[in-house]
């Protein structure tokens, strides 16, 4: 006898399947990106000196592995326990917060370097960044803690989702939009102020990287706000970690490119006018 399922059950099951396909695709893309940049990465890890920013790079680079592993486990392993779903989601949310915080830290420090290590700019950015992180953690965990987790009523569909809407989760993305818009504005102001007087490869790379990173962050944050407000079931959260993965790839890839560019500049005897030691590496590539 064939069981009949409601339209809500079918829609929820489809959202879980799409959710699983998306995380599988993200894991595949992350591994592919890691394999493509393996030589550059190990050159950087072996030849650069250890610093706070290098530690930041390692965290930003490898935490997404744990994030993806946690979500793939939650999506593929049959689980009827809503408390376990809540626990796994909280763990993955911690990894997400760590990943996006490290990615943003890179560009806070880069903007600080563009402003010639202006302490007022640093204090303003740091205070805003900490406020956004604290508020986002409070909204994220406070909202998901009260929404029950549910598994699919259709046999063979693994994974779990929050059965009630958690539209309040769009607030952390609005805060992220505000942070990145502010950082992008600082970058643009500084670029306009110094575009006539600064003719330096490293400086140009910093500005281009910053603008591109902020544009991507603003775009994906906007997408996440819309999906959280307009969709239901697993569709609501399907682009959240996608944004964090893309930002982590951009931050670490751009850092590698900047380091190798600086290394080549030192090797050729080029003069570097912008002090970069505090954001990525020592004054010497070794």
What is the pLDDT at residue 218?
A: 93
Percentage of the chain exceeding pLDDT 90: 35
Could you tell me the two tokens for 239? 């682009």
Q: Report whether pLDDT(279) > 60.
A: no
Average pLDDT over residues 252-259: 89
Q: Report whether pLDDT(213) > 80.
A: yes
What is the pLDDT at residue 268?
A: 58
Considering the chain, what is the average pLDDT of its residues? Answer: 81
User: For residue 214, how many other CB atoms are within 10 A of its CB?
Assistant: 23
CB 208 within 8 A of CB 242: no
What is the pLDDT at residue 79?
A: 66
Q: Report whether pLDDT(264) > 80.
A: no
CB 100 within 8 A of CB 242: no
Q: Backbone dihedral region of 159: left (phi > 0), alpha (psi from -120 to 50 degrees) or beta? A: left
Nearest to 71 by CA among 26, 104, 101: 26
Q: Report whether pLDDT(201) > 90.
A: no
Grouping H, G, I as helix, E, B as strand and the rest as coil, residue 269 is: coil
pLDDT tens for residues 54-102?
999 999 999 999 999 998 888 887 766 777 888 888 898 899 999 999 9
For the ranges 2-11, 107-116, 177-186, 272-281, which has the lowest average pLDDT?
A: 272-281
What is the pLDDT at residue 233?
A: 63
CB 172 within 8 A of CB 244: no
What is the pLDDT at residue 145?
A: 63
- Can you give the pTM of this predicted structure? 0.83
What CA–CA distances, in Å, run from 198 to 155, 195, 204, 272?
63, 6, 9, 11
Find the farthest-apart pair of alpha carbons in the chain and give their distance in angstroms, rounded: 79
What is the pLDDT at residue 48?
A: 86
User: In terms of pLDDT, which residue wins out, 80 or 231?
Assistant: 231
pLDDT band, residue 12 (cuts 50/70/90) = confident
Average pLDDT over residues 215-233: 86
User: In terms of pLDDT, which residue wins out, 269 or 203?
Assistant: 203
Q: Report whether pLDDT(262) > 90.
A: no
Specify which residues 150 forms β-bridges with. 161
DSSP H or E segment with residue 218: helix 201-230
pLDDT tens for residues 119-178?
999 999 999 999 999 998 888 777 766 667 777 777 777 777 766 656 677 888 999 999
3-state secondary structure 89-153: HHHHHHHHHHHHHHHHHHHHHHHHHHCCCCHHHHHHHHHHHHHHHHHHHHHHHHHHHHCCEEECC
Q: Is the dihedral of CA 275, 280, 281, 282 positive or negative?
A: positive
User: In terms of pLDDT, which residue wins out, 93 or 276?
Assistant: 93
CA distance 260 to 105: 20
CA 53 from chain centre, in angstroms, equals: 16
Strands 149-151 and 160-162: antiparallel
CA distance 257 to 201: 12
Nearest to 187 by CA among 242, 245, 106, 263: 106
What is the pLDDT at residue 280?
A: 42
Average pLDDT over residues 40-45: 90
């Amino acid at each position: 006898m064939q069981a009949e399922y409601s339209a809500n059950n079918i829609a929820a099951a489809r959202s879980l399947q799409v959710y699983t396909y998306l995380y599988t695709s993200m894991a595949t893309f992350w591994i592919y990106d890691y394999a493509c940049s393996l030589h550059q990465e190990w050159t950087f890890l072996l030849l650069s000196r250890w610093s706070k920013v290098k530690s930041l790079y390692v965290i930003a680079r490898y935490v997404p592995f744990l994030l993806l592993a946690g979500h793939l486990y939650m999506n593929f392993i049959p689980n009827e326990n809503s408390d376990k779903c809540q626990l796994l989601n909280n763990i993955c949310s911690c990894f997400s917060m760590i990943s996006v915080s490290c990615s943003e830290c890179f560009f806070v420090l880069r903007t600080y370097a563009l402003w010639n290590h202006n302490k007022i700019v640093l204090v303003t950015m740091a205070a805003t960044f900490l406020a956004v992180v604290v508020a986002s953690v409070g909204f994220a965990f406070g909202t998901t803690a009260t929404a029950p987790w549910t598994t699919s009523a259709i046999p063979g569909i693994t994974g779990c989702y929050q059965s009630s809407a958690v539209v309040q989760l769009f607030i952390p993305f609005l805060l992220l939009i505000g942070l990145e818009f502010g950082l992008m504005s600082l970058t643009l102001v500084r670029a306009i102020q110094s575009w006539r007087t600064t003719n330096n490869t490293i400086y140009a790379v910093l500005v281009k990287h910053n603008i591109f990173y902020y544009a991507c962050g603003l775009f994906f944050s906007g997408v996440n706000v819309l999906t959280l407000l307009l969709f239901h079931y697993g569709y609501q959260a399907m682009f959240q970690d996608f944004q964090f993965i893309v930002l982590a790839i951009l931050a670490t890839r751009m850092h590698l490119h900047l380091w190798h560019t600086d290394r080549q500049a030192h090797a050729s005897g080029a003069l570097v006018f912008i002090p970069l030691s505090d954001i990525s590496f020592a004054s010497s590539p070794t």
